[in-house]
Amino acid sequence: MEQPVKRFFHDWLDPLLRVIYPELCEVCGRTLVPGEQLLCTHCYQAMPRLNLYDKPFNDIHHRLLSTNSHIDRAAALFAYHRADEYAAIILTMKYHSRPDIGRKLGVIMANEAQSHQFFSGIDLLLPVPMHWWKQMRRGYNQSEEIARGISKVTGIPVAHNLKAAPKRGTQTHRSAKMRWENTKGIYSVRKPVKLSGKHVLLIDDVITTGSTLLHCSEALTKAVPDITVSVLTAAATHLN
Ligand SMILES: [Zn+2]
């Protein structure tokens, strides 16, 4: 964008739009002040962070144990409880036509993970894909929006080598076994040769049992034996 145009947006249009359509904190609903994004300062600081970046074999790794693939690094930003006020970030992003939440969340995730050197050596960001029909109905894939936010901060490109066939029903409220069966064999890899020797970071919104991410990781390892796979999600549920 040309400098005068950029300055016009920054100095005049942004503040004006903030008066007409104030940005609200996605957790408490308070009006955000300049400098705040997605959450007010209080909710940002009080977020139930998991701080897993420096733990080499953490709870996320445990959920992704497999003899068919290996997860190098794994982390999630915050703990997800369906009844908790912070769940609103995920639910609004997914079900209320708010892809912007995904991008802002990606920026927060990237800034925090980057301070722990979490992205060191990562070549590509791979969002967990949605079946094209489901994505068309929603209008976006929230994991891809999160990846875009991460890419904005880190400069790591977003790739689309994973492809999803339709799931057999929704994942919500399903048991671990049902979730496993539901996502088995639905992910495939496009142009695997482009991923040879690369370290990819799988991006998803929430990890629950881990079946989705594990099936993605297994599909990648099967198609590209010399790939390295790491995982970063916005949130992680407590299983018990
Ligand atoms: Zn707030």
169-225 pLDDT, tens digit each: 665 656 666 766 677 789 999 999 999 999 999 999 999 999 999 999 999 999 999
Between CA 208 and CA 215 the distance in angstroms is 13
- Token pair listed for 107: 């920026």
**Measured distance CA(240)–CA(238) in Å, rounded:** 6
pTM check: above 0.85 = yes
Note the pLDDT of residue 2: 58
Find the 26 Cα to ligand 1 centroid distance in Å. Answer: 7
**CA dist., res. 17 & res. 14, Å (int):** 5
Ligand 1 centroid from CA 231, angstroms: 28
Phi/psi-derived region of residue 162, left when phi > 0, alpha when psi is between -120 and 50, beta in every other case:
beta
Residue 74 CA, chain-centre distance (Å), reads 12
| 133-138 average pLDDT score | 90
Burial of 137 (0-12, 13-18, 19+ CB in 10 A): exposed
pLDDT score for 4:
73
Predicted local confidence at residue 172, as pLDDT = 60
Q: What is the pLDDT of residue 92?
A: 95
* Stronger pLDDT, 115 or 184, i.e. the higher one: 115
**CATH 3.40.50 assigned to 48-237:** yes
Averaging pLDDT over each range in 4-13, 83-92, 172-181, which range is the top one? 83-92
pLDDT score of 173: 57
For residue 71, pLDDT over 90 is answered with: yes
108 CA from centroid of ligand 1 (Å): 15
Q: What is the C-alpha separation between 164 and 183, in angstroms, rounded?
A: 9
Question: How far apart are the C-alpha atoms of 68 and 161, rounded to whole Å?
Answer: 19
Mean pLDDT of the chain: 90
Q: What percentage of the chain reaches a pLDDT higher than 90?
A: 74
Domain spans, the chain = 1-46, 48-237
Listed residue (129, 121, 144) closest to 73, CA to CA: 121
Examine the pLDDT at 14 and tell me if it is beyond 70. no
Residues 84 and 27: their CA atoms lie apart, in Å, by 10
Tell me how far the alpha carbon of residue 24 lies from the centroid of ligand 1, in angstroms: 8
The token pair at 14 is 């942004």
Looking at residue 166, what is its pLDDT? 82
Q: Beta 71-80 vs 228-237: how paired, if at all?
A: parallel
- Residue 15 confidence (pLDDT): 67
- Ligand 1 center from residue 33 Cα (angstroms): 11
Mean pLDDT of 29-41: 94
What is the Å distance from ligand 1's center to 113 Cα? 22
